[in-house]
Structure 1
Amino acid sequence: MKKLFLLRHAKSSWDDQVARDFDRPLNDKGKRAAATIGTFVKRENLTFDLVLASPAVRVIETLEHFEEACGLAIEPQWDRRIYLASSVTLIDVLRGANDEAESVLMVGHNPGLEDLVFDLVPDDGSSAARDEVETKYPTAAFAELSLAVEKWEDVADNCGSLDRFTRPRDLDPSLGPKYN
């Protein structure tokens, strides 16, 4: 059994004039949301053997605020394939993970992360958390999955269960959409 954690980057700023989407930084709300999820991870005593992350600026900044709040030393493997990747590409990235890693944190973007949950977790009506993901996988949301595989190369459709789905607004209502 492998554990997969998925963290969508926090809210980015559309006010900054950047030449490329790749270079968009976080806004203040995004910084707070990333730290809030990091505090949650610390409180829940979660750890990661491997971190796979998109090298986009908003992911780098998300991890900076997340790491400071959770107190873990995060040393991501930056993988350009994760930037705006489809679920199929994300599964390929996971299949290449070192099998010594029992728990992997993947940090990236939507719609790929959302679609990855849909591909890995069967839609059999038994997961309220999956239903929440269907409603929306907002920025800085954090998913915890259990995968019924012994090796990362065996990751396949419907091999997992969604154990938990946590949004920043679940932890701090001021991070919800009505508080822009």
Structure 2
Amino acid sequence: MSRLFLFRHAKASWAEPGMRDFNRKLSPEGIEEAQRIGVALRKRGLIPTQIICSAADRARETFDAIDQDDGWRENVTFTDTLYSTDAPGYLEVASEMGHDGDLMLIGHNPMLEDLAIALGQTGNDEAYTHINMGFGTACVAILKFDGPMSNIQETKWTLEEYLRPRDL
């Protein structure tokens, strides 16, 4: 069994005049949200073996907030692609990694929401309902499937869980 963690960056501050969207930073609330999610993932034993993170500042800061010096940094790759691609592009990035095991994508909406809705149609109905109402900041959809991550494009997914900071 493999798991795909779809993690939307935490709450960001508004852009200052002249600032690119790519360079927006997390708000103090966003840092706290991401830290709560990191703790919840560890408590549940939901530890990805590989992480692909958008290179946008708010995604990098989300990763920094969940990384507690327990080896996650050694398994992260940063890429601009997760900032600029669409939902199918997220799957392409994941499959191109060639990684087998649990994989986390830290990225952006609407791509993560679209992907979670497309892949998570079976499994946890309550989680699916929450995602359909909007994939919130610092939320994580956890999908599982039988088989290696190399078959990510041709597999049937099950939505296992949807973690929201406000529920923790």
Structure 2 length-normalised TM: 0.89
Cα pair 1:149 1:155 within 8 Å, conserved? no
Q: Does 1:129 pair with 2:127?
A: yes
Change (3 A) 1:89 1:169: same
Cα pair 1:38 1:67 within 8 Å, conserved? yes
Indicate the RMSD between aligned Cα atoms, in angstroms: 2.0
Q: Which amino acid aligns with 2:102?
A: S
Aligned equivalent of 1:170: 167
Instruction: Specify the SS of the correspondent of 1:65.
Output: helix
Of all paired residues, the percent bearing the same amino acid is 29
Cα distance in 2, alignment partners of residues 82 and 114 from structure 1: 13
Q: Which amino acid aligns with 1:64?
A: D
Cα pair 1:37 1:66 within 8 Å, conserved? yes
Cα distance in 2, alignment partners of residues 119 and 79 from structure 1: 23
Q: Which amino acid aligns with 2:135?
A: Y
Change (3 A) 1:151 1:25: closer
Q: Deviations over 1:70-107 (max 9, x none)?
A: 844334111211114311111111221224x3100110
Cα distance in 1, alignment partners of residues 35 and 64 from structure 2: 9
Structure 1 length-normalised TM: 0.84
Cα distance in 1, alignment partners of residues 18 and 159 from structure 2: 36
Cα pair 1:94 1:155 within 8 Å, conserved? no
Cα pair 2:124 2:161 within 8 Å, conserved? no
Aligned equivalent of 2:90: 90
The size of the alignment, in residue pairs, is: 167
Change (3 A) 1:166 1:9: same
Quote the offset at 1:149 in angstroms.
3.5
Any gaps of 5 or more consecutive residues in structure 2?
A: none
Q: Which amino acid aligns with 2:111?
A: G
Quote the offset at 1:121 in angstroms.
2.2
